[in-house]
Amino acid sequence: MAVREFTIAVAAGKGGTGKTLLSTSLALALAQAHPNRVQLVDCDAEEPNAHLLLPVQVRHERTVKVRVARVLEARCTACGRCAAACQFGALALMRRRVAVFPALCIGCGTCAFVCPESAMLEEERVVGSLLLGRVCGALEFTQGRIHVGEQRVTPVLQALRKALAPGMIRVLDAPPGTACPMQETISGADACLLVTEPTPFGCSDLTAAVETCRALGVPCSVVINRTGVGERSVYDYCAREGIPVLLEIPWRRAIAEAYARGGTLLDADPAWADSLRTLFRQTAVVAERR
């Protein structure tokens, strides 16, 4: 298989479906066949955990900063125009002083624009970090982390996007759910693999994830985890909607034990590597057909 630039997002409508197990296993299997041509990007910046399943050798950590408003009190006349203009509730006039709530500020600069005294400045604030490393000397690893208490994950996701390695296969481990962080991650991906499980909950969350992919124009396919237990609604839904089910991961003790030890599908059985590389090829075919 010739390597060409391709970005595949691995997502799930809810947490706990095996999304990170699949993304780490897939990235490892691809890196076995294409050393130094695969990048795994852990985009679950609020709860990053891909490093728990892989022997990551960290090479570098980079801070993620945003620009936020700061009041130069010596110039401020407490006119209140800045607080009135801020659409994000990041400023409040309290007892003739302007209070800044940095976690709410998006650095839009409106307050500085309306301030008649040039009393509104900007300063940098660290909101998270990127971890850059390698796995087994063959897989590039990049992970985003938002600092505890920060509310906006977007700056970290934007920094991850800038850190995507050109010309490589990129496997993005998306944040769970279908809210903004997931959407930001899968936007622009060539394809999305949606991981679900054969339960009514899995089917409900898969439905939301499929609708999100369709709204964003990202071709999607499905991987069903823990097959052999549960029921058929996920299969029926995929058949009805014409969504290909490309892989089933059975409920097996060996997989559960490997995962419990902090391992991937390849630790449960190295033969999974072939199935995962086939999964990648099929995903690329589905993307090309759209």
CB of 155 to ligand SF4, least distance (A): 13
> What is the chain's length?
290
Nearer to ligand SF4, 55 or 109 (CB): 109
Q: How far is 153 from 176, CA to CA, in rounded Å?
A: 13
> Per rule CB under 6 A, is residue 10 in the interface with ligand SF4?
no
> Per rule CB under 6 A, is residue 120 in the interface with ligand SF4?
yes
> Per rule CB under 6 A, is residue 82 in the interface with ligand SF4?
yes
> Per rule CB under 6 A, is residue 121 in the interface with ligand SF4?
no
> Per rule CB under 6 A, is residue 33 in the interface with ligand SF4?
no
Query: How is 240-258 classified by DSSP, letter by letter?
Result: HHT--EEEEEE--HHHHHH
Read off the amino acid at residue 131: L
Q: How far is 191 from 57, CA to CA, in rounded Å?
A: 28
Nearer to ligand SF4, 49 or 77 (CB): 77
> Per rule CB under 6 A, is residue 109 in the interface with ligand SF4?
yes
Tokens of 117: 């005294």
Q: Contact region for ligand SF4 (CB under 6 A) — 54-62, 79-87, 139-147, 167-175?
A: 79-87
C-beta separation of 280 from 26 below 8 A: yes
Query: Alpha carbon 237 to chain centroid distance?
Result: 25
> Per rule CB under 6 A, is residue 115 in the interface with ligand SF4?
yes
Q: Contact region for ligand SF4 (CB under 6 A) — 104-112, 177-185, 204-212, 276-284?
A: 104-112
CB of 125 to ligand SF4, least distance (A): 11
**C-alpha distances in Å from residue 277, one per residue of 35, 105, 193, 245:** 14, 44, 13, 15
Read off the amino acid at residue 98: V
C-beta separation of 28 from 54 below 8 A: yes
What single-letter DSSP state applies at residue 118? S
CB of 80 to ligand SF4, least distance (A): 5
Q: Contact region for ligand SF4 (CB under 6 A) — 33-41, 100-108, 136-144, 197-205?
A: 100-108
Question: Rule CB under 6 A: which residues touch ligand SF4?
Answer: 69, 71, 76-82, 86, 88, 90-91, 98, 105-111, 115, 117, 119-120
